[in-house]
Amino acid sequence: MNLENPKKFKMLVDQAHQVAMNYFRPISRKYDKAEHAYPKELDMLASILDGFNDGAAEAPSSAALGKRGASNDGSVKNGANMSAALGVFELCCGDTALLLTMPRQGLGNSAIGAVANDEQLQRFKGKWAAMAITEPGTGSDSANIRTTAVKDGDHYILNGEKIFVTCGERAACVVVWATLDRSLGRAAIKSFVVERGTPGMKVERLEHKLGIKASDTAAISFTDCRVPAANLLGNPEIDVAKGFAGVMETFDNTRPLVAAMAVGCARASLDRIKELCKDHLDPNYGTPPLNASNIEATIYRLEAEWEACRLLTLKACWMADNKKPNSKEASIAKAKSGRIGSEITLKCVELAASIGYGEDELLEKWARDSKILDIFEGTQQIQQLIIARRVLGKSSAELK
């Protein structure tokens, strides 16, 4: 694995950096204060993010498609997972919430890219899809989903409630996780694409949040909501042997992207604190650690942790691009980056003292925004549990 960014993505990285600095940053505080207001400035940028996926409009992590047709030519590829992560790094240096509410880049698009068949990929191409998993009383344990889907001719009837749906009000459709038969446990959970305006689907409320305020977070109810059977993603049959694995493939692609968000947000804070403390730092890193000031030693330690997060994230993306199982690596990247991202942004607020705590600086905003990146797509504790299962070779029933 080459530790440098692939040269073919240089233009993408440069473009994303320019968008972050010159487009996201200037409107960042505006939409942080105007929670639930849609950032109309993003409409003209949607096509730019489409280009991050080599022209595919599904989503940054529709690179999951590459896992299907296994290649035996022995070549090493840097594909859409890698390009998406590099783009996310840069854009989250500008504003994480604005990236999260970018049209056609929802987490539901990642689910479509991961498990949809060819006909579904074509049918939902270009649509903005949110993802609805979490329910009241069912947070990190996705297998405990209570929303039901009952077959009725050429449709499924959905009943249940979903909370914390990112872009749940703005997206054109929502990928809803529901169970076909609760008695069969995890194996019966499937995902359905429910288009906005479908009778029986209702946005109940928008949440008020600590951070990522530019991104809407919705609670959605489904009451006798009829969804075409053709909108069930992947195989409609319940495979008890495979269990929950098919649905969980989505996370193998989205978790590295969330890790990339944490890396990008932390990079913004590091760059700013280094600028504020430049008179106390050796730009050549020539000061021996024992002779370094507390500020120097702290910033250098945070930079080392940040670099580890960056490389772990790129490894998980690289494995996905090269059709290698990456569930453990995706969780490692997410766990490390989520935790360290929050540590870095909070420490930078502390180092900047009163300057970092005020609204004249974005440091306090980045600290608020970064916390969610350690929570959604699986909390820190859940990631560590997944990693332990993979390392020890135990099932979810054996290690809870």
Enzyme catalytic residues: 377
The token pair at 159 is 């009943």
* Residue 400, CA atoms < 13 Å, CB-side half-sphere: 4
Q: How far is Cα 274 from Cα 158, in angstroms, rounded to an integer? A: 52
Yes or no: say if 127 and 172 are a contact pair by the CB < 8 Å rule: yes
CB atoms within 10 A of CB 284: 6
Q: How far is Cα 330 from Cα 312, in angstroms, rounded to an integer? A: 8
Q: What is the DSSP letter of 180?
A: S
Q: How far is Cα 330 from Cα 336, in angstroms, rounded to an integer? A: 10
Q: Which residue has the tokens 């498990």?
A: 115
Closest by Cα among 238, 88, 108, 93 to 165 = 108
Q: How far is Cα 326 from Cα 276, in angstroms, rounded to an integer? A: 39
Q: How far is Cα 330 from Cα 64, in angstroms, rounded to an integer? A: 13
Q: How far is Cα 322 from Cα 111, in angstroms, rounded to an integer? A: 19
Pairing of strands 173-179, 129-132: parallel
Scored b (16 or more CB within 10 A) or e, 20-33 reads beebbbebbeebbe
**Length, in residues, of the chain:** 400
